[in-house]
Structure 1
């Protein structure tokens, strides 16, 4: 009976692809800042029978029967997120960080309203108003930038921009800005011009939950995030808001932007939030930041140019133009991938190349920290990366680095 057959019996091609992906993760060093490895508990939750259940609506107020147990799961996720972040109201149904942002926009903005956000090439995100994204197509968007000399956001300039543009919403948040945001300052600017403040913490959700990064909850009416980067709660999104916006947010998510929630993903969030509320996770978050700082130290010592000179969180942004003017971000990504080190090409401030080529690479510490890497191992990896970039055509160097990567992967398995 096909219904009771295993995956490798009913669909060996898909089973093989999954096995190969697991092997790829185990045999390479994942250093993409937006990726991590979830625990066995989260994998179990997300692969559970909850994938079978429709649960349109919210706990205690569903459009379907038989929701008593998924109600419990969603309530657990909400309660744990509320405790972790200290928010008035939490919605755990968004399928992604982008859809979490959509929920906020739909709750307080009308088409044509104004958004002020960080430029994509300066570290911002597509969902903050880029013209290829719904946010840039529905709203009137202008963007602030980092100071070209320091790599830091110039908050005086941001304030001047806000007063001239008069946005309805200011977004603080990024995908490749290596420094902490001054959430209180942005909140004050928003208040002074009667604008809303949305803090998108997609990249630092886990750091904030662990208390190793400042929190925007007291300084923004809305806080959005994803749950699979630094908090290890499986793929998905989350919205937190002040109580006065709770009904508007819930209505904007369902039925406004989504149908039924993915209850197996909500279960993953519940399990991941439980893990995040432990001393072990707090230690993990501290190590994640320490590892990123170690990356920055080695890169600086080896002569690489870093945007803002370093990092406050879990990622560094390398500007290749000074050290390697003939190597694009795409080429650097491919060179490192060939030896088993996985990073992503990334635009940098003042970018002149296309987003598919770029002049930089983004390097993150979440996944290696999950594997158990500490300062010594991170120093080895960082040195190996620079060796490859210094010697892009030296096969002997590449072979040596590949062997080092293989050894480290064997010493620090993920699920082994």
Structure 2
């Protein structure tokens, strides 16, 4: 183990542990006086997180500073509008918070414009979609009819504009190839807003084939080309994606929710940094970025005015207390130590992938070069749901995920997605992740699929061999004890 892997890199986890411990205990005491069950559930959640191997790629551990920032009087404020242009009086302090969060985001990612109001990644994508429609469809319509806003259009003109809004095309990565449900998946609003088509990956390698993406774009001629992923274990060449978008006159939107921390930490640079190439870039602020749960939109200047209308166009009142926590998290990410953390996320993912493959496990794309690993559990004779449940029994927290051309569909799936950000935050290094791979393979090798009440094969039920869960938890406990979560914070 390296020295770097032995200490937790969470800002504030050790430096101000006594103050953080006192703050959380005082807060729980106040909460317990009103609803003790909530206080108890909060304590239990910390205990559960401390005692399990968290390998969900979309989860992390925010610093005490970020967590404490969210519990403030900013929660009491309505602040619809933008900085200096609110629909409510008395928002001068919210203006300060939002301005600081946007400033840190611009500097962190090198973006001309940042919008920090979205409540989630899905909200950020909705803001982006409607901003693109407003910029590409609404603005020319207003100019055509010589009016300043849609309220001045005649009913007939407005109906024409509505038809244009609802008749646009989107091209995004398919769900089974690693895309997100907001990239045009039919049950999601994106699949209802747009005439949608998906691009996949090479059926042999599982890798993006840019020539195929370009061919699909030329045939479909989308207004919006979406790049980015939630379960694709490789990097993307965003310069090539921009070339494809420009060739067909599309707006390039990149959803970097999963890998924003790798962009912020300069693990992804050059053609692999989406911000210089995308017209609009969206993200969450948790996951690999290690902030509060929330969303973010970055944009080139030409889209700034459209994005700035996110509230009231799509969003309600911004969550000012969360914007404050975003500002704190972005400030943390601008520190040199964050770049080291981001690199260790990627290095640990490599170690996890190599640990799986050396033990005969099958990975989608035969490896990774980002923060996640996608394991095809069909080689163990299991569905993703069976594997997810068996691992949880053994104290390993993951999530099932589709693999390309998944024969089990999006509910049962054939894959398990693993991510390294959270355990990297705890201080795990390459050796520990190799041990994690060994534990996972041991659990899955000792899990057998079950049957339903009629005796037919089941995609959900399973049996884990006796003793495996206890053995896994014992070894996990040794690893976790070496890297305590929020050291110094005692809620007993």
TM-score class normalised by the smaller sequence:
over 0.9
Q: Aligned partners of 1:353 and 1:160: how far apart in 2?
A: 29
1:169 corresponding residue in structure 2: 224
Q: Is the 8 A contact 1:116 1:144 kept in 2?
A: yes
Q: Is the 8 A contact 1:292 1:364 kept in 2?
A: yes
Q: Partner of 1:147: helix, strand, or coil?
A: coil
Q: Is the 8 A contact 1:93 1:266 kept in 2?
A: yes
1:204 corresponding residue in structure 2: 259
2:344 corresponding residue in structure 1: 287
1:30 corresponding residue in structure 2: 54
Q: Partner of 2:213: helix, strand, or coil?
A: helix
1:126 corresponding residue in structure 2: 181
Q: Is the 8 A contact 2:207 2:365 kept in 1?
A: yes
Q: Is the 8 A contact 1:340 1:402 kept in 2?
A: yes
Deviation at 1:5, TM superposition (A): 7.7
Q: Partner of 2:107: helix, strand, or coil?
A: helix
Judged with a 3 Å threshold, the aligned counterparts in structure 2 of structure 1 residues 5 and 53 are, in CA distance, closer, same or farther, namely farther
Q: Determine whether 1:404 maps to 2:475.
A: yes
Q: How far does the alpha carbon of each residue in 1:82-107 deviate from its partner, in whole angstroms, 9 at most, with x for none?
A: 01111111100011111111111111
1:395 corresponding residue in structure 2: 466
Aligned to 1:65, which of 86, 89, 96?
89
Q: Aligned partners of 1:305 and 1:52: how far apart in 2?
A: 50
Q: Partner of 1:248: helix, strand, or coil?
A: helix
Q: Aligned partners of 2:216 and 2:482: how far apart in 1?
A: 51
Aligned to 1:21, which of 15, 20, 45?
45
Q: Partner of 1:121: helix, strand, or coil?
A: coil
Deviation at 1:6, TM superposition (A): 1.5
Deviation at 1:15, TM superposition (A): 1.7
Aligned to 1:299, which of 356, 370, 389?
356
Q: Aligned partners of 1:7 and 1:374: how far apart in 2?
A: 37
Deviation at 1:356, TM superposition (A): 1.8
Computing the radius of gyration over CA atoms, which structure comes out larger, 1 or 2? 2
Deviating beyond 6 angstroms after TM superposition, the runs of 4 or more aligned structure 1 residues are none
Q: Aligned partners of 1:398 and 1:77: how far apart in 2?
A: 44
Write out aligned runs for 1:236-385 (5 A). 236-251=294-309, 253-321=310-378, 323-324=379-380, 326-385=381-440
Q: How far does the alpha carbon of each residue in 1:250-297 deviate from its partner, in whole angstroms, 9 at most, with x for none?
A: 11x111011210011101110000010011111110101000000000
Q: Aligned partners of 1:376 and 1:47: how far apart in 2?
A: 37
Deviation at 1:11, TM superposition (A): 0.6
Write out aligned runs for 1:41-56 (5 A). 41-56=65-80
Aligned to 1:234, which of 292, 301, 325?
292
1:415 corresponding residue in structure 2: 486
Q: Is the 8 A contact 2:285 2:295 kept in 1?
A: yes
Q: Aligned partners of 1:402 and 1:248: how far apart in 2?
A: 51
1:111 corresponding residue in structure 2: 166
Q: Aligned partners of 1:92 and 1:288: how far apart in 2?
A: 25
Q: Partner of 1:362: helix, strand, or coil?
A: strand
2:35 corresponding residue in structure 1: 11
**Stretch deviating more after TM superposition (66-75 or 289-298):** 66-75
Q: Aligned partners of 1:249 and 1:82: how far apart in 2?
A: 15
Deviation at 1:354, TM superposition (A): 2.8
Q: Aligned partners of 2:259 and 2:72: how far apart in 1?
A: 27
Q: Return the TM-score normalized by structure 1.
A: 0.97
Q: Aligned partners of 2:318 and 2:128: how far apart in 1?
A: 17
Q: How far does the alpha carbon of each residue in 1:206-233 deviate from its partner, in whole angstroms, 9 at most, with x for none?
A: 1101110121112111100000000111
Q: Is the 8 A contact 1:50 1:263 kept in 2?
A: yes
Q: Aligned partners of 1:413 and 1:46: how far apart in 2?
A: 23
Q: Is the 8 A contact 2:394 2:468 kept in 1?
A: no
Q: How far does the alpha carbon of each residue in 1:333-370 deviate from its partner, in whole angstroms, 9 at most, with x for none?
A: 11111111101000000111132211000000000000
Q: Partner of 2:375: helix, strand, or coil?
A: strand
Residue segments in structure 1 that go unaligned for 5+ positions in a row:
none
Q: Partner of 1:224: helix, strand, or coil?
A: strand
Q: Is the 8 A contact 1:320 1:329 kept in 2?
A: yes
Q: Return the TM-score normalized by structure 2.
A: 0.82
Deviation at 1:61, TM superposition (A): 1.4
Residue segments in structure 2 that go unaligned for 5+ positions in a row:
1-27, 134-164, 448-463, 488-492
Q: Is the 8 A contact 1:339 1:405 kept in 2?
A: no
Q: Is the 8 A contact 2:119 2:318 kept in 1?
A: yes
1:97 corresponding residue in structure 2: 121
